[in-house]
Amino acid sequence: MSDCSNDATALGTAPAATEEAQSKVEESDMAQESPKNSAAEIPVTSNGEVDDSHEHGYHRDLKRSLPSGLGLSETQITSHGFDSTKEGVIEAGASQGGQRTHTKGGPVILADEIKNPAMEKLELVRKWSLNTYKCTRQIISEKLGRGSRTVDLELEAQIDILRDNKKKYENILKLAQTLATQLFQMVHTQKQLGDAFADLSLKSLELHEEFGYNADTQKLLAKNGETLLGAINFFIASVNTLVNKTIEDTLMTVKQYENARIEYDAYRTDLEELNLGPRDANTLPKIEQSQHLFQVHKEKYDKMRSDVSVKLKFLEENKVKVLRNQLVLFHSAVAAYFAGNQKQLELTLKQFHVKLKTPGVDAPSWLEEQ
């Protein structure tokens, strides 16, 4: 019986020894693998608290492996558990001249891209093309009698009168220039004729007095002609300024007003067409944009209309003032010339501050005038 019990005991202890040997082999294998998987182990003390001795050892090894210029105080590593949904944040600061610049962790925000000049020009060309197309379509529609146009009857009548007056003033200016050219030629001929009479007066003793009288008369006529020519040139210069500068400037504003009116009617027509169509999610944004563009061009049209009205008013006042003085000058000078009243002719030029150019003397330079 004792032998049997000993055999049973030996058989019972054999599996236990085998299991103990296998567990030791597994522990030794885990001990060998523990340096590789140290990050996955969470040591716990006997009190149930987390043992952070391994973490301190890890920081010590990391400090040794870091460069001499960067310490642990400048590198912060925040680790979380493997079951956490948060990511680790690494904050590093560079040491430069005793000062540290910290870059805080967080989302990276990209700055707005710099606008491309080529894209801006392309957008301007697109808007210009669209605006030109709308205006061209409006002009063609008006000429064909299909489109409607905005008309200010009072303003349009004033513009028509201005354009008609400009043509008449241009005709007066052209005729006055022709008269001045012909008068200049006549004065030049009278001077030559007076010189010829004076020469013959010296060489012909029998006709000395007769040639002398004619020489003096021609020279007097030439002198009065030069005075009249100065008055006519002053008249031409004033009318030329009125026609080609003052009236032309007003007509440029009228042209801008007409362009603004065409744009206003073009966008008004677009808005009316959109309002006649269906209203849904696709058309409402287009209607709102068209309403905005219509309002912008309406304000521009109203402003240009106001500017034209003001300029026409001031132009009329200036035109009456200038032409009144110039017409009085022209009449007085011509009447005094053909009446042979030299004193009245010279007095007329002094009254209107007309300065005659001395023959053969050039105008003083700007330095001499200073």
Q: Are 207 and 200 in contact (CB under 8 A)?
A: yes
pLDDT at 34 over 50: no
pLDDT tens for each residue of 170-208: 999 999 999 999 999 999 999 999 999 999 888 888 888
Residue 359 sits at φ, ψ, to 5 deg, of -60, 135
Q: How far is CA 105 from CA 83, 95, 109, 110, in A?
A: 22, 18, 12, 15
Question: What is the distance between the alpha carbons of residues 318 and 287, in angstroms, rounded to a whole number?
Answer: 46
Q: Are 105 and 91 in contact (CB under 8 A)?
A: yes
Residue 95 sits at φ, ψ, to 5 deg, of -95, 115
pLDDT at 311 over 90: yes
Question: What is the distance between the alpha carbons of residues 370 and 365, in angstroms, rounded to a whole number?
Answer: 9
Other beta carbons within 10 angstroms of residue 326's beta carbon come to 20
**Residue type present at position 174:** K
pLDDT at 306: 93
pTM of the model: 0.59
Other beta carbons within 10 angstroms of residue 169's beta carbon come to 18
pLDDT tens for each residue of 113-145: 556 888 888 888 888 888 888 888 888 888 888
Question: What is the distance between the alpha carbons of residues 224 and 339, in angstroms, rounded to a whole number?
Answer: 11
Write the DSSP symbol of residue 208.
Answer: H
Percent of the chain with pLDDT over 70: 65
Phi-psi region of 133 (alpha: psi -120 to 50; beta: other; left: phi over 0): alpha
Segments in the chain forming alpha helices (H): 2-33, 53-65, 117-144, 153-203, 208-241, 248-276, 283-339, 342-351, 366-369
